[in-house]
Amino acid sequence: MNFEHRQVIIIGAGSAGLTAAIYTARANLKPLVIRGPEPGGQLATTTEVENYPGFVNGILGPELMEHFEAQAARFDTELRYGTITSVDLAQRPFRLIVDDEKTLLSDAVIIATGASPKYLGLENEKRLLGHGVSSCATCDAAFFREQEVAIVGGGDTAMEDAIFLTRFCSKVYVIHRRKKLRATKILQERAFAKEKISFIWNTLVEDILGEDEVEGLLLKNIETGETYILPIAGLFVAIGYQPNTKIFQGWLEMDSKGYIHTLPGSTYTNIAGVFASGDAQDYVYRQAATAVGTGCMAAIDAERWLESQNLVSVSLADKWGRLADSQD
């Protein structure tokens, strides 16, 4: 059978994947980016991004990702809808299966699958997802105009989301399992300054109540053991992210949480020719700026590796032609 064969396939179109695309495209490797189920990655569902360098007054996350994508498309990047549902990394070229159907072959693979929101794991959370339970304040805040909502979590996401929710909601409860927030100081201070935000410390969400939509939460104070009901119309879950690396289990070395191991100072995985970038391999920093950095590293690692294997099929004339184009 004749399968489509590429030099580089990038899995994921968030900040790491699109940076890898820009660099591999400029290296004339004609990358194919498989966008996956969440194109744009986490930034596509955030509001104001204030800490991404180069934007003095901040920029909206979705707008920033549009810039990334346009820049990748400006060079020879092909962006394609679809999700890689399984891989075979034992064969060369590597085999990637799209949407359980189509097989793609690639000499090198750059993983940029990112991470997705974690959930509490409650039965009613699953049942009421989309009916008052959400992990995306940016997407769903407007459904809760002038209503009381809660957000669970104590990190940067929870603070940013809580602040954002005050634009729409009459009251925002932040429920945190400890007395100390994990979020950066600047976000903590902004959240503390918002009159509409109330903090409920040392507390767990034991259950989510409501038949067809969320009506309240069963909360438990872990210091006193007291349980009580908090009536609210919506629950936003902001308790962190888990790496999207399930399809690589059994192929690539990873830690117990699923973060792919890379050789220190590089994006090399345990399989030569497979490179990992962004939140799929970064448990420590997890920032857009660091994902961009490792996306760039993965592209350079892949290019050098392909060259070392004599797998780069770029003619010099082609390369010089592109250089002249880019200088026009």
**Residue 220 contacts ligand NAP per CB under 6 A:** no
296 a catalytic residue: no
136 a catalytic residue: yes
Q: Write the CA distances from 74 to 25, 78, 186, 206, 231, integer angstroms.
A: 9, 10, 37, 50, 50
DSSP assignment of 87-120 equals EE-SSSSEEEEETTTEEEEEEEEEE---EEE---
Residue closer to ligand NAP, measured from CB, 158 or 232: 158
Min. distance of Cβ 200 from ligand NAP in angstroms?
Answer: 12
Residue closer to ligand NAP, measured from CB, 81 or 192: 192
Question: CA 295: distance to chain centroid?
Answer: 13
279 a catalytic residue: no
**Residue 89 contacts ligand NAP per CB under 6 A:** no
Residue 127: enclosing H or E segment and its boundaries? helix 123-127
**Residue 164 contacts ligand NAP per CB under 6 A:** no
Min. distance of Cβ 178 from ligand NAP in angstroms?
Answer: 5
Question: Buried b / exposed e across 266-294, counting CB within 10 Å, b at 16+?
Answer: ebbbeeebbbbbbbbbbeeebebebbbbb
Q: Which residue is nearest to ligand NAP (CB)?
A: 155
**Residue 150 contacts ligand NAP per CB under 6 A:** no
**Residue 41 contacts ligand NAP per CB under 6 A:** no
Min. distance of Cβ 216 from ligand NAP in angstroms?
Answer: 18
Please name every residue paired with 173 in a beta bridge, in sequence order, or none if there are none. 150, 198
* CA–CA distance, 86 with 104 (Å, rounded to integer): 11
**Which candidate in 88, 99, 139, 318 is catalytic?**
139
For residue 244, give the 3-state DSSP assignment: coil
For residue 212, give the 3-state DSSP assignment: coil
CB 277 within 8 A of CB 291: yes
CB 134 within 8 A of CB 235: yes
Q: How many residues bind ligand NAP (CB under 6 A)?
A: 18
* Contacts (CB under 6 A) with ligand NAP, residues 169-188: 177-178, 182
* Placement of tokens 């409650």 in the chain: 122
**Residue 239 contacts ligand NAP per CB under 6 A:** yes
**Residue 286 contacts ligand NAP per CB under 6 A:** yes
- Of the candidate spans 59-67, 77-85, 165-173, 235-243, the one that interacts with ligand NAP by CB under 6 A turns out to be 235-243
Min. distance of Cβ 211 from ligand NAP in angstroms?
Answer: 24
Min. distance of Cβ 30 from ligand NAP in angstroms?
Answer: 32
Site for ligand NAP, rule CB under 6 A: 51, 120, 152-158, 160, 177-178, 182, 238-241, 286
Residues with a catalytic annotation lie at 136, 139-140
